[in-house]
Amino acid sequence: MAVSRQDAWTEDEDLLLKEIVLQHIREGGTQLKAFEIVAEKLSRTAAACGFRWNSYLRKKYETDIELAKQERKKFRQQKEKKNSEKKLLHYEEAGGRSEITIDDVIAFLKSTQHQPVNNRLEEENKSLREKISFLEQKVEEFKNENEQLHEQLKKIENEFYAFIKMMEKVRERAGLKEEAEEEKMKHKKRPFQFGQE
């Protein structure tokens, strides 16, 4: 079918394009397939639909796209879980003699990965990370305080040693003065006689 439509997009056409693209996102289909479906319904090219989506609508419906992706993820998880449970049930019914591949086991484990137990563990993990972050911050504060105290201690020690040296000099001078006074006292006690020294 030859498609050569080049008129402006209407609001109804935009809504149809949005709904079909979001449906394909939810169901795990490709956007290209959605563009082809819309192109056929609107008598436009798939390229025109893709251009309209990417240049205008995608930005407008970002939250709807995220919700569709989340729904797709939940849908896939539920589907994987059901498939895994069916295979496990079949395995159990066959008395454990049926083959289960490693992919089956991985799919089953992935499907159970997002159970409430994990939510509790994630919350506990988050809480522990916050505590670790708090404690690391405290350790850093204590390191800084310790460095400041070491600097103050060095300053006090330097001042103390300077004081001790000053006291030693004062004692030396005081000791010299005492000796000089003792000499004076000796001379005062003896009367001076001519010819004596």
In this predicted structure, the answer to whether residue 77 has a pLDDT above a threshold of 60 is yes
Measured CA to CA, the distance from residue 93 to residue 112 in angstroms comes to 21
Instruction: State mean pLDDT over 165-185.
Output: 78
Cβ-contact 49, 42 below 8 angstroms: yes
Q: How far is CA 135 from CA 49, 122, 125, in A?
A: 55, 20, 15
pLDDT band at 193 (very low <50, low <70, confident <90, very high): low
Task: Give the residue among 122, 113, 30 at the shortest CA–CA distance from 74.
Answer: 113
Q: Between residues 89 and 66, which one has the greater pLDDT?
A: 66
In this predicted structure, the answer to whether residue 187 has a pLDDT above a threshold of 70 is no
Mean pLDDT of the chain, nearest integer: 82
Instruction: State mean pLDDT over 89-109.
Output: 68
Q: What is the pLDDT of residues 29-41, one digit of tens each?
A: 889 999 999 999 9
Measured CA to CA, the distance from residue 102 to residue 99 in angstroms comes to 10
Q: How far is CA 140 from CA 134, 144, 151, in A?
A: 10, 6, 17
pTM greater than 0.85 (yes/no): no
Cβ-contact 57, 15 below 8 angstroms: no
Measured CA to CA, the distance from residue 31 to residue 25 in angstroms comes to 7
Q: What are the helix and strand counts (H, E) for the chain?
A: 7, 0
Measured CA to CA, the distance from residue 41 to residue 190 in angstroms comes to 138
Per-residue model confidence (pLDDT) at position 79: 79
Per-residue model confidence (pLDDT) at position 38: 94
Quote the crossing angle between the two packed helices 31-42 and 11-27, to the nearest 10°.
150
Question: Which DSSP string corresponds to 154-166?
Answer: HHHHHHHHHHHHH
> Worst-scoring range by mean pLDDT, 3-17, 35-49, 170-184?
170-184
In this predicted structure, the answer to whether residue 56 has a pLDDT above a threshold of 70 is yes
Measured CA to CA, the distance from residue 185 to residue 142 in angstroms comes to 62
